[in-house]
């Protein structure tokens, strides 16, 4: 362990042992917790809330927000923390206007495991994913021909090598020998031993999501939905006793307080919608 080393899950507070270091960006950090919401983009009503430790990935909590869509998901509720709740960096939304449920989320929710849960539940995932990159503008992973059925990888020079997988299902394709004489090697890798391509056990869904993200109609749909959820997050953060700072210690108490705050925001939204109780025993939005 050298200078500046920090265990990711270390306890940072003696009075709140469940609080953790977190980061919104590589340059902006915080101590405490993160608040997450799921909301219906049509009515802009918050449907679920969760609070997680600051160091926990957003995708780990997303399944807990969507229990109605993912009934068989295992909850990640094994942490209990407090201090500063940090407004979630992403969002999840449900859209009932399609043939099947749809979930919208930013890149923080593009983890392969979460995408797999949505796919298994028959839920459409309109989730932004991080594009494949390679330093210096070299060939990205998407430029390679990855055949998951044959478990092979074909490079831009049409050299095909097998994917060697470990017991967990993750694998690596080693193009090293072919790279030594390849005329495209400089555009592919700077490694003297040649290029190695990591292929995860959940590779299929992220690759599909990256391909779908280039569809103009899908991008327009995502861009039309995202501001509605960002607006809900802004409502949670704008008040003096909002979601920007925890008012108590312990994740259980903070989660209850965050849920209460979301309920207050929902009441304000219901007043805007002019919702009313009708004779048949149902709620209806007043026509204008």
DSSP 1-67: --TT---TT----SS-TT-EEEESSSS-EEEEEEEEEEEETTTTEEEEEEEEETTS-HHHHHHHHTT
In order along its 288 residues, the chain shows pLDDT tens digits of: 555 555 667 888 888 888 888 888 778 888 889 999 999 998 899 999 999 998 888 888 888 898 888 865 444 433 333 333 333 343 444 444 447 888 998 888 888 888 888 888 888 888 888 778 888 889 998 889 999 999 999 999 999 999 999 999 999 999 988 898 899 999 999 998 999 999 988 888 888 888 888 889 988 998 999 999 899 988 888 876 678 888 889 999 999 999 999 999 999 999 888 887 777 777 777 766
Span between the terminal Cα atoms of the chain, in Å? 65
Cβ contact 39:229 at 8 Å:
yes
Q: What is the pTM of this model?
A: 0.76
What does the DSSP assignment read for 208-239? Answer: HHHHHTT-HHHHHHHHHHHHHHHHHHHHHHSS
Say which residue the tokens 């997988």 belong to.
Answer: 165
Q: Which tokens sit at 276?
A: 């009313």
Q: Encoding tokens for residue 180?
A: 């030594």
pLDDT for the residue numbered 92: 44
The pLDDT assigned to 87 comes to 36
pLDDT on residue 83: 32
CB-CB contact of 152 with 165 (8 Å): no
Angstrom CA distances, 170 to 83, 166, 229, stand at 37, 6, 35
Residue 283: count of CB within 10 angstroms of its CB = 10
Given this model, what pLDDT does residue 266 score? 93
State the pLDDT at residue 288. Answer: 60
């Amino acid at each position: 362990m050298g200078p500046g080393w920090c265990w990711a899950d270390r306890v940072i507070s003696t009075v709140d042992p469940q609080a953790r270091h977190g980061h919104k960006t590589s340059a902006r950090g915080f101590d405490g917790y993160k608040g997450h919401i799921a909301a219906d983009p049509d009515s802009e009503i918050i449907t679920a809330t969760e609070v997680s430790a600051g160091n926990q990935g957003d995708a780990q909590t997303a399944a807990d927000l969507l229990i109605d869509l993912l009934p068989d998901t295992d909850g990640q509720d094994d942490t209990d923390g407090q201090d500063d709740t940090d407004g979630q960096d992403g969002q999840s939304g449900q859209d009932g206007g399609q043939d099947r449920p749809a979930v919208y989320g930013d890149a923080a929710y593009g983890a392969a495991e979460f995408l797999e849960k949505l796919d298994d539940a028959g839920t459409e995932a309109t989730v932004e994913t991080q594009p494949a990159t390679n330093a210096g503008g070299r060939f990205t992973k998407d430029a390679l021909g990855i055949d998951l059925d044959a478990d092979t990888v074909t490079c831009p020079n049409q050299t095909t090598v097998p994917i060697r997988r470990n017991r967990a299902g993750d694998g690596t394709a080693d193009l090293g020998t072919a790279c030594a004489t390849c005329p495209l090697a400089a555009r592919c890798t700077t490694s003297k031993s040649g290029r190695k391509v990591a292929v995860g056990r959940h590779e299929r869904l992220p690759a599909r999501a990256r391909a779908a993200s280039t569809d103009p109609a899908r991008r327009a749909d995502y861009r039309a939905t995202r501001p509605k959820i960002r607006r809900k997050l802004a409502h949670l953060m704008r008040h003096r006793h909002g979601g920007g700072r925890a008012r108590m210690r312990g994740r259980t108490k903070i989660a209850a307080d965050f849920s209460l705050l979301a309920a207050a925001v929902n009441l304000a939204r219901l007043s805007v919608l002019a919702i009313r109780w009708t004779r048949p025993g149902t709620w209806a939005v007043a026509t204008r």
